[in-house]
Amino acid sequence: MKTKKLMKGNAIWLVFIAEVIIFTIANHNFITPNNLVAILRQVAVYGIASVGMTFVILIAGIDLSIGSIITFVNIICAYFMVNMGMPMIVAVIISVLAATLVGVLNGFMVSTIGIPALIATFASQTIFEGLAYLISGGMPISGFTSNFGFFGKWSIGILPICAIIMAICFGVGAFILNKTYFGRFFYAIGGNEDAAELSGIRVSRTKYLIYALSGFFAGLAGIVMLSRAGSAQNTAGKGYEFDVITCVVLGGVSVNGGVGRMSGVVAGVLIIGSLTNGMILMNVSSYAQMVVKGLVLAIAVGIDCLTKKKQAA
C-alpha cells in the first residue's frame, strides 16, 4: 500500500529514469558531464517559465502569451542596454517588471473583463510579438557588456548559473504552493472557483497575482535566454509556451485544475529537456522532434483525462 502510494506520486520520476537509461544505451555521449550540463542550460529557460505556468494551470487557466513575453523581454532589455545605454541591472529590472505588467494585463482581461484565458492570452501573445517587432524594427539587437553573460553563460565550477536560477525558481514555486496561503488558494480556486469565493477567497485578486507571476517568471526566463544567446531576436520565444505547457502537464498538473506538485513539474522539465537533447544526439530531425513532442503532450493530457474519468466511474 505504501509503495503503491509512493509510486503514484512519483511515477513521473520513473519515466525520467527510464528515459535516461534508454538514451544512455542508445548513445554513449548522452551521460557525459558535458552533455548533462548542456541539458541543464537548455532546460533553464522553460524550466523557469514553467513555475508561473504551473500556477496558471493549477487554477485551470492557460497562458499562451509567455513565448511572446520572452521575445518582448529579449527585445526591450537589449534595446534598453544597447540603444539607450542603461546599466545592465536597471535594464533587467525594468524588463522583468514590464513582463510582470503583461501578466497583470492578462489578469485584467481574464478576471475583471471575463475573457476566457485561452483567448485573452492568445490576444496578448500577438500584441507583444507585434510590439517587439515595432521596437526592434525586425532587426536583431546585440553588443551587450560581457557581464551580461552572467545569467546564461557563466558557471560556478561546472554548474551553470542559469541552472541555479532555475533551481531557485523551482524552490520558490514549491514554497509558494506548500507554505503560503496563496498556494492553498490556488488549489482551492482550481478545485472549485465558486466554492472558493464563498469560502472567503478573493478569487479575482488571486487570479491577477497568478497571471502576474506567470509574466514575471516568463520575464526572468527571457533574461536568461537573452544572456545565453548574446543577441535579441524577434523569434526568440516563439513557440515556447508549447514546451512549457507540455512540461507542466507532463509533470502531473491537471489541466482541469486543482491538482499538481512542483516536484512533478521539475521531472516534466527534465524529461522534455533530455528528450530534446537525446533526439538531437541521435540525429532526429527537428520536424520529427515536433511530432514526438506533440505526441508527448497529447499522451500526458490523455492520461490526466483518463484518470479523471476513472475517478468518476
Which residues are near other proteins by CB under 8 A? 179-182, 184-185, 187-188, 190-192, 194-202, 258-259, 313
Closer of 19 and 197 to other proteins (Cβ): 197
Q: Which is nearer to other proteins, 198 or 291 (CB)?
A: 198
CB of 13 to other proteins, least distance (A): 22
Nearest CB to other proteins, comparing residues 185 and 211 = 185
Rounded least distance, CB 67 to other proteins, Å: 30
Residue 284: closest CA among 299, 270, 295, 298: 295
CA–CA separation, 163 vs 273, rounded Å?
12
**CB nearer other proteins, residue 133 or residue 187:** 187
Least Å distance, CB 197 to other proteins, is: 6
Give whichever of 91 and 255 is closer to other proteins, judged by the CB atom.
255
3-state class (DSSP) for residue 156:
strand
Segment 202-206 long-range contacts (CB within 8 Å, at least 24 positions apart): 203/111, 204/111, 204/112, 205/111, 206/59, 206/182
Q: How far is the CB of 27 from other proteins (least distance, A)?
A: 40
Residue 310 contacts by C-beta under 8 Å, 6 or more apart in sequence?
Answer: none
Under 8 Å between Cβ of 181 and 270: no
CA–CA separation, 40 and 27 (whole Å): 18
Closer residue to other proteins, CB minimum distance, 259 or 265: 259
The residue assigned the cell 502531473 is 252
CB of residue 257 to other proteins, shortest distance in Å: 9
CB of 83 to other proteins, least distance (A): 38
Residue 156's φ and ψ, nearest 5 degrees, are: -105, 110
